[in-house]
Amino acid sequence: MTGTTGLRITAAALAALAVATGTTACSSGGSTSAQDGDSGTYTVWDPYPQFAKDSAWVKLLDTCGGKAGVKVERTAFDTGDLTNKALLAAQQGNSADVLIVDNPVVSTLAEAGVLTSTADNKVDTSDVDPNLLAAGTSGGKAYGTPIGANTLALYYNKAVLKAAGVDATSVKDWASLTAALAKVRASGKKGITFSAIGTEEGSFQFLPWFWGSGAKLTQLDSSQGVSALSLWTGWLKKGYAPNSVINNTQTTSWQEFASGDYAFAENGTWQLANAGKAGFDYGVLPVPGVDGGSAAAPTGGEFVTLPVQKNTARYATSQKLVSCLTSAANLYATDTTLSYVAPTGAVQDKQVAADAELGPWVKAVRAAKGRTSDDLGTKYPRISEQMWKAVQTALSGSQSPKDALTAAQNAVN
């Protein structure tokens, strides 16, 4: 176990967090500092302010603390504020014992020296799906373990497709999807809605099409990347997607789909509860790749990590807390509460056995990819910012997809 990792709050780390975050603080309960000595109280910071003290999540924290023989003092923040608080606490040598953080931020905190690696802290990740674990990997080392994952897929309105004479099972690639949209448009209904807003949400929603084309984030202006952006711009020009996508968040995009007029909507597992309330029969398809198969959609969800501590004796108990929180039995209950797909195959199978509607989501998660995978680390937020700017520029008609992505790649360079 490494004793004291040098803290390197680099300009790149700060810039990355400035791009990736920016929401308002919302903390509840507990202290906002870790204990200096092994006093029997361990601090846990999480991004779940929606869960009050009497929630199943907080009861699980207390249970895991009891099993480890310590008291857990929990503080909840909004996601953006949590990452900033984590950096500040690390600078002050006052980090939480256990930090649960959005997966794209893990590599940034790791590169800044804020986190211990699983090789050092002995957190077991052997059962975690490799594609999900990769989202929290930097320099070949894992810096935490996922508590669960969500991702994107295509919701579809069964009645709209039936009226247009479209069989959902025929949608297997970009050509068949575009053909389906043409039939829906001809029938008098609307095609597909998504979020292309000029924020991380826009990049998040574009990535399945970008990766599904075979493109890589290290070369935004490849011919494959241009084909993905051309797909979206083509849909707008033909009226298959509304101009509102340029300003749509994932929430407003969902509201459009919930109107009942659209055949498809790109959205995530977090809309499952709303889908059940929509008032029409729906189905779910993985986002198709250009030539078929499931495109790699980006993974959402958090990692449970152990920040660097002055008192290295605390790590053993922190590791017990993490092992308890991410055990198979507890993951099933927690991921059901969070509308997440579990990060391990065994628990995923249990989820599908309990709810067959999760089948397409498990398939999508198994094909998913971390935004910071491929060791992009602090480079990702800069790449993402240029990506969403290119998407906005092309969809607005200011530049061609090729010119927009060329400008984006030049800005990254």
Domain membership flag for residue 38: yes
* Residue 262 and residue 234 share a domain: yes
* Residue 16 and residue 143 share a domain: yes
Average pLDDT, the chain: 90
* Residue 30 and residue 132 share a domain: yes
* Residue 281 and residue 219 share a domain: yes
Q: What secondary structure does DSSP assign to 241-306, as a single string? A: S-GGGGT--HHHHHHHHHTT-EEEEEEEGGGHHHHHTSSS-EEEEPPBPTTSSB--PBPB-EEEE-
Domain membership flag for residue 5: no
CATH number for position 213: 3.40.190.10
- Percentage of the residues of the chain whose pLDDT score is greater than 90: 83
The answer to whether the Cα torsion of 372, 374, 377, 381 is positive or negative is: negative
* Residue 322 and residue 190 share a domain: no
* Residue 137 and residue 90 share a domain: yes
Give the range of the structural domain holding residue 70, as residue numbers without chain letter. 11-149+299-366
Q: What is the pLDDT of residue 184?
A: 98
Place of tokens 């509460």: 337
* Residue 138 and residue 72 share a domain: yes
Residue 9 to residue 23: CA distance in whole angstroms: 21
* pLDDT tens by residue, 254-309: 999 999 999 999 999 999 989 999 999 999 999 999 999 999 999 999 999 999 99
Work out the average pLDDT over 168-193.
Answer: 98
Going from the C-alpha of 163 to that of each of 159, 261, 287, the distances in angstroms are: 6, 12, 22
Backbone angles phi, psi at 197, to 5 degrees: -60, 155
* Residue 308: closest CA among 102, 91, 134, 135: 91
* Residue 360: closest CA among 301, 297, 303, 300: 297
Which of the pair, 411 or 334, is modelled with greater confidence? 411
Work out the average pLDDT over 88-111.
Answer: 94
Per the structure, the count of domains in the chain is 2
Q: What is the pLDDT of residue 169?
A: 96
* Residue 142: closest CA among 384, 381, 379, 372: 372
* Residue 30 and residue 115 share a domain: yes
Confidence category of residue 22, pLDDT binned at 50, 70, 90: very low
- Percentage of the residues of the chain whose pLDDT score is greater than 70: 91
Q: What is the pLDDT of residue 79?
A: 80
* Residue 390 and residue 245 share a domain: yes
